[in-house]
């Protein structure tokens, strides 16, 4: 692969935004590609791949170029140089690369990958936390799987089609090969990554892109037609849409969020999916949730979390997160559980979920809630951590609690 200067400069601007300005990698890549419309499809794929690879393996690469701990223009060019050499591409004869001893990169790589924090390119604190929570062997397997790029999985919208029909259509029209997923009746997993947003099937709402383990969460509520469900911290509504699908659009779902822009996106997605049962509710100082107290047959709390279960698709999370930030998030989780649990009617269900695998965000939060005044009327029915090494999908947690009659 020949790296053209304009692509390299685009990658540098992306790295500056992600690493120096701490902006979300997905947002940065999306804006970068949109602002460089002259790039062809191959160039766009190359830029995105290099950026995500560098963010995923940043610590290893910086160790190889002897710039660990640095976050400046030199280190960013060093990251590109390291990616090029390790992926067997010719390093351009540019002055900016002349300071790096590329001939020694692979030897340095082979030495560093004997140390897990370099091999998996993670901060010291995260490696220590993983070992403490899960033990050396289990953590080693889990972080190795979390560092693999995410698989492309979609959830079929049964209001418009079936998995069999969608599978056939995607293959016949576009040559996309997919397969079903055991335990996920509405899922199709793609053989390779494809751009789906321009397909007729996507535009007409025949499917939503949703990780396999993310599709495990909504069914914990066992939703039924004719009942009222609250999706708290709904975001852009992937799980609200799934709840609506599970009830054939015959329940009532109210999606809460503190960000109105996400609820606008949820409305757009619901329209595309042909779903009428979802209403949105913007929560702020004026719009309280008290009026919904004890009215929900089921409440889903997809709580804000560290995001350390979704490193496959958000590799920058390990650099944006730190122990102090995790503690702040745990305080938020505790408060959200206290507040939104009040919406569950007697005999109703409460599902608490995160996209983290760490106990302090998951079972420990549930146990703490159950011993509190707000949680005294709830009992834990079951819970599960969905580890990435067991499925190859993102890491998630879910707990089902039932309120006493």
Query: What is the reported pLDDT for 1?
Result: 81
List beta partners, residue 384: 398
Please list the alpha-helical segments (H only) found in 247-344.
Answer: 260-273, 317-320, 323-340
- What confidence tier does 287 reach under pLDDT thresholds 50, 70, 90? confident
Whether 137 is covered by a domain: the verdict is: no
For 332-361, how does the pLDDT look when each residue is reduced to its tens digit (9 = 90+)? 999 999 999 999 999 999 999 999 999 999
Whether 144 is covered by a domain: the verdict is: no
Query: What is the reported pLDDT for 285?
Result: 81
CATH code of 227's domain:
3.40.50.150
Give the distance, in angstroms, between the CA of residue 150 and the centroid of all CA atoms in the same chain: 9
**Domain shared by 363 and 256, yes or no:** yes
Which residue in the block uniquely carries the two structure tokens 């959200």? 336
Query: What is the reported pLDDT for 32?
Result: 96
**Domain shared by 199 and 259, yes or no:** no
Buried b (16+ CB within 10 A) or exposed e, 303-337: bbbbbbbbbbbbbbbbbebeeeebeebbeebeebb
Query: What is the reported pLDDT for 288?
Result: 86
Contact assessment for residue 300 and residue 239, using Cβ atoms and an 8 Å cutoff: yes
Whether 83 is covered by a domain: the verdict is: yes
Structural domain tally of the chain?
A: 3
Tell me which of 77, 100, 121 is where a domain ends: 121
Mean pLDDT along residues 125-154: 97
**Domain shared by 384 and 236, yes or no:** yes
**Domain shared by 192 and 221, yes or no:** no
- What residues have CB less than 8 Å from 70, skipping those under 6 apart? 62
Whether 162 is covered by a domain: the verdict is: yes
**Domain shared by 225 and 304, yes or no:** yes
3-state DSSP of 338-388? HHHHHHEEEEEEEEEEECCCCHHHCHHHHHHHHCCCCCCCEEEEEEEEECH
- What confidence tier does 367 reach under pLDDT thresholds 50, 70, 90? very high
Q: pTM for this structure?
A: 0.95
**Domain shared by 365 and 247, yes or no:** yes
- What confidence tier does 394 reach under pLDDT thresholds 50, 70, 90? very high
Whether 116 is covered by a domain: the verdict is: yes
Percent of the chain whose predicted confidence (pLDDT) is above 70: 100
Contact assessment for residue 24 and residue 316, using Cβ atoms and an 8 Å cutoff: yes
CATH code of 115's domain:
1.10.940
Question: What is the rounded distance in angstroms from the CA atom of residue 397 to the CA atom of residue 165?
Answer: 31
**Domain shared by 283 and 394, yes or no:** yes
Query: What is the reported pLDDT for 399?
Result: 98
Whether 143 is covered by a domain: the verdict is: no
Residue 170 has, within 13 A of its CA and on its CB side, a CA count of 27
- What confidence tier does 286 reach under pLDDT thresholds 50, 70, 90? confident
CATH code of 201's domain:
3.30.70.1170
**Domain shared by 218 and 203, yes or no:** no
Tell me which of 64, 99, 121 is where a domain ends: 121
**Domain shared by 261 and 178, yes or no:** no
Whether 115 is covered by a domain: the verdict is: yes
For 217-270, how does the pLDDT look when each residue is reduced to its tens digit (9 = 90+)? 999 999 999 999 999 999 999 999 999 999 999 999 999 999 999 999 999 999
The answer, yes or no, to whether residue 16 has pLDDT greater than 80, is yes
**Domain shared by 180 and 253, yes or no:** no
Tell me which of 179, 209, 239 is where a domain ends: 209
Helix (H) or strand (E) holding 153: strand 153-156
Q: How would you classify the pairing of strands 296-302 and 228-232? A: parallel
**Domain shared by 298 and 323, yes or no:** yes
The answer, yes or no, to whether residue 2 has pLDDT greater than 90, is no
Range of the domain at 90: 5-121
Whether 62 is covered by a domain: the verdict is: yes
For 54-112, how does the pLDDT look when each residue is reduced to its tens digit (9 = 90+)? 999 999 999 999 999 999 999 999 999 999 999 999 999 999 999 999 999 999 999 99
**Domain shared by 68 and 173, yes or no:** no
Q: Is the Cα dihedral 295, 350, 324, 310 positive or negative?
A: negative
């Amino acid at each position: 692969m020949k790296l053209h200067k304009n692509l390299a400069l685009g990658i540098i601007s992306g790295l500056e935004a992600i690493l120096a300005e701490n902006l979300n990698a997905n947002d940065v890549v999306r804006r970068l590609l949109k602002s460089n419309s002259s790039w062809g499809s191959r160039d766009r794929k190359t830029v995105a791949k290099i950026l995500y690879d560098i963010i995923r393996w940043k610590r290893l690469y910086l160790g190889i170029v002897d710039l660990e701990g640095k976050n400046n223009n030199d280190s960013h060019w060093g990251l590109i140089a390291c990616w090029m050499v390790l992926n067997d591409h010719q390093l351009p004869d540019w002055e900016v690369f002349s300071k790096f001893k590329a001939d020694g990169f692979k030897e340095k790589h082979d030495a560093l990958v004997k140390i897990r924090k370099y091999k998996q390119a993670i901060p010291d604190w995260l490696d220590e936390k993983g070992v403490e929570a899960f033990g050396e062997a289990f953590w080693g397997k889990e972080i190795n799987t979390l560092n693999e790029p995410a698989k492309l999985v979609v959830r079929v919208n049964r209001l418009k089609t079936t998995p069999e029909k969608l599978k056939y259509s995607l293959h016949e029209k576009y040559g996309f090969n997919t397969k079903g997923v055991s335990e996920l009746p509405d899922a199709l997993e793609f053989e390779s990554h494809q751009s789906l947003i321009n397909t007729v099937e996507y535009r007409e709402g025949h499917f939503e892109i949703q990780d396999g383990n993310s599709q495990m969460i909504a069914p914990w509520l066992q939703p039924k037609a004719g009942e009222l469900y609250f999706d708290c911290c709904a975001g852009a509504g992937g799980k609200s849409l799934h709840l609506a699908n599970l009830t054939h659009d015959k329940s009532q779902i109210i999606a809460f969020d503190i960000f109105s822009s996400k609820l606008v996106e949820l409305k757009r997605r619901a329209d595309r999916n042909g779903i009428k049962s979802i209403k949105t509710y913007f929560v702020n100082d004026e719009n309280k949730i008290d009026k919904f107290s004890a009215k929900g047959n089921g409440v889903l709390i997809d709580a804000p979390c560290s995001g350390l279960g979704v490193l496959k698709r958000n590799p920058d999370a390990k650099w944006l997160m730190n122990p102090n930030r995790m503690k702040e998030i745990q305080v938020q989780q505790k408060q959200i559980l206290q507040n939104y649990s009040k919406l569950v009617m007697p005999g109703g269900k409460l599902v608490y979920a995160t996209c983290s695998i760490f106990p302090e965000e998951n079972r420990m939060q549930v146990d703490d809630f159950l011993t509190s005044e707000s949680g005294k009327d709830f009992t834990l029915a079951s819970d599960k951590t969905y580890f990435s090494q067991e499925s190859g999908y993102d890491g998630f947690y879910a707990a089902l609690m039932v309120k006493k009659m």
